[in-house]
Chains A and B, each alone.
Chain A
């Protein structure tokens, strides 16, 4: 493969993934409002377009045309750059993610992954962790007490769940022996019974829980919980800057759904008669739905409860899981 061809292919892939996931994030907001509404016996958006589908476009127009307010006492450069960190980190994490199985189009084999690095999983977890700088800097720079509380809670959350994320994913990695998501996927290519969830059910649950914490979704949405701290780190943000945080959050939801599907649920391997691309789409849809489902059903936890839960329950469980896995392997 020539260098120019490689560069062109990569740029095209980047653009396609950016477009798909931005649109996906927008569509997920619509689905979220609808699902939450149905679960609360409401109708949700109905007026703009058929079944309210065009509400996304109305929202986008609103966000783009809104005045960009930068309050008086904020630390201006940090305030401006924080949402960009958040969105950039979320989309960078997608770059090491194999989206669908490789396919051939016009006699040209496409690998639907922007960069197949050997430490893909580590890269994704690291970049998503770096994405927490967005809320942290936003809250600290916006000269707002709620923002400051949100920033403090960001750190609490990061300290709590990041350990569990790493430790819980370690056990399946010991089985696979590689950090590349493609290797992890291929390890489970034997079908339904080869899925890692059967070998590592505990790690699956732990990783899912810490994934909820990573994406700031209910029940761990304490860094922007409006009942307590108005809107947390995003209190002073409006318009497109707030929209960037929002897109980042939804891109993170997709990333976590992809990670859980690839590591534990057989990834994009064909599932019975279902081809791989459809299979992973189904799995991701289920996990996105689960994000909304828990939001409709569960209250959120207090910060001290989150720390207690992560350090005293989840981390010991993760360590025990690793120990058992190690003994079984030996």
Chain B
């Protein structure tokens, strides 16, 4: 077995602490106490905190007023997207997300409508159970269910349900062109708008 495989966490540039062996006799421990007493380590500590105070390099983020930038792949509350052309629900009711959901918190209610297309009647996510793993967004063939960045999510109830009305992008936001794409696997490119032709039904 070679050494690199054994210590694979140790990289170059690691510094190892030199820990001195414990003293064997009373005289040795006395010498050790003297050494540690006059080493001045206590004053190093004092100097470090004083230096930080004088530098005044405050790291506080005043949270409700300021927010840290979060990753584009951040997985927070879900959203059902609308089709860019028509504004209809993108979800085709295939049920893959319901199937893959590890926390068993998604439920889809569908029916076959008069045009013998599948219609999504209701789409609920139990946010009390959801573990925000992102499998539903990953498995969705239509990029219909995505994660937004809204992580400020509190409820008075232990299990909070989200119905289809809550999840679907509100129409006014959609009409203002503010529907955000989830830049994950298979997401439309940034210039996708240029390639979209309106369907004849929209006229």
Contacts and interface: CB of A to CB of B under 8 A. Distances in A.
A39 B60 contact: no
Contact of B50 (A39, A42, A298): A39
A297 B45 contact: yes
Contacts of A298: 42, 45-46
Contacts of B59: 41-42
A293 B49 CA distance: 8
Interface residues of B, number: 14
Given A297-B45, A298-B45, A38 B53 contact: yes
A293 B48 CA distance: 11
Nearest to B47: A297
Interface range on chain A: under 10, 10 to 19, 20 to 34, or 35 or more? 10 to 19
Contacts of B45: 297-298
Nearest to A308: B33
User: Is chain B's binding surface mostly helix, strand, loop or mixed?
Assistant: helix
Interface string A34-58: 0100111111001000000000000
A42 B42 contact: no
Nearest to A39: B49
B57 interface: yes
B49 A297 contact: yes
A294 interface: yes
Contacts of A39: 49-50, 52-53
Contacts of B42: 297-298
B58 interface: yes
A272 to B, nearest CB: 25
A294 B49 CA distance: 9
21 contacts: A35-B53, A38-B53, A38-B56, A38-B58, A39-B50, A39-B52, A40-B49, A40-B52, A41-B60, A42-B58, A42-B60, A43-B58, A43-B60, A293-B49, A293-B50, A296-B49, A297-B45, A297-B46, A297-B48, A297-B49, A298-B42
Given A294-B46, A298-B42, 19 more contacts: A38-B53, A38-B58, A39-B49, A39-B52, A39-B53, A40-B52, A41-B57, A41-B58, A41-B60, A42-B58, A43-B62, A46-B62, A293-B46, A293-B50, A296-B49, A297-B45, A297-B48, A298-B45, A298-B46
Interface of B: 42, 45-46, 48-50, 52-53, 56-60, 62
